[in-house]
Amino acid sequence: MSCDCGETHHPNANYYVSVRDGPRFDLLAGPFDDHAIALAWVDRATAAANDVWPWSHFYAFGTVAMQSTYDKPGKLNERLAIAARDQWPPTKGT
């Protein structure tokens, strides 16, 4: 599946905003059906993570594709008011 980011992604993947600190990583927001939607949430998820975990300013934020069978909610979904997979563009707020 071709994407606006210029890469090709698996058509059945679930996309998340991710955070990485060395060998540790977590999924902050998602799942989303489309990589572009996950990309649109990166800035808000980063800001929310920095509010919750001040040391996260030193972490790397981005997106990740997971298998379609993995659909657990992101750690910050509730804080970001992400209730559905189809929120585009990100709603105003946090």
In a domain, 32, yes or no: yes
The residue-averaged pLDDT of 48-57 equals: 95
Residue 56: domain span: 1-82
Residue 85 confidence (pLDDT) above 80: no
| String of DSSP letters for 61-87 | EEEEEE-TT--PPPTTTTTTT--STT-
Between residues 9 and 72, the one the model is more confident about = 72
In a domain, 64, yes or no: yes
In a domain, 93, yes or no: no
Is residue 18 left, alpha or beta, with left meaning phi > 0 and alpha meaning psi from -120 to 50?
beta
pLDDT, position 86: 52
**The two three-digit tokens of residue 65, written as one number:** 């594709």
